[in-house]
Amino acid sequence: MPALESKEISSTGDVTTKDSSILWSVALTAGSDAASLVVKDGSGGTTRLTLKAAANTSVSHQFVKGVLFESGIHGTLTGTSPVADFEYD
């Protein structure tokens, strides 16, 4: 596995705008209410993953072989004070 970059987001936005990024894992931690995370190929692209977490819990997803994102990686968060952590290259 190549050297990975990591990024944490606490609001909707781009994780990376680099073309041909490979996503390896995502973790979502909810705040005081339920949270959701929609991960897209670029800000207006295809939805590639949706995670949901109950209040004050965490969920994660790992891609064994990684998933290619051709137009960057974008995360849309909902909930009160959610945090999402991404590992990609």
pLDDT tens track for 32-63: 999 999 999 999 999 999 999 999 999 999 99
Distance CA 67, CA 86 (A): 12
Of the two residues 38 and 1, the one the predictor is more confident about is: 38
Nearest Cα to Cα of residue 23 among 59, 51, 61, 58? 61
Sign of the Cα pseudo-torsion (43, 51, 4, 20, in order):
negative
Q: What is the pLDDT of residue 2?
A: 65
How are beta strands 58-69 and 5-9 bridged, if at all? unpaired
Q: What is the pLDDT of residue 3?
A: 84
Query: Tens digit of pLDDT for each residue in 3-30?
Result: 899 999 999 999 999 999 999 999 999 9
Domain residues for 39?
A: 5-88
Number of domains composing the chain: 1
Which CATH number belongs to the domain containing residue 70 in this structure? 2.60.120
Q: What is the pLDDT of residue 1?
A: 57
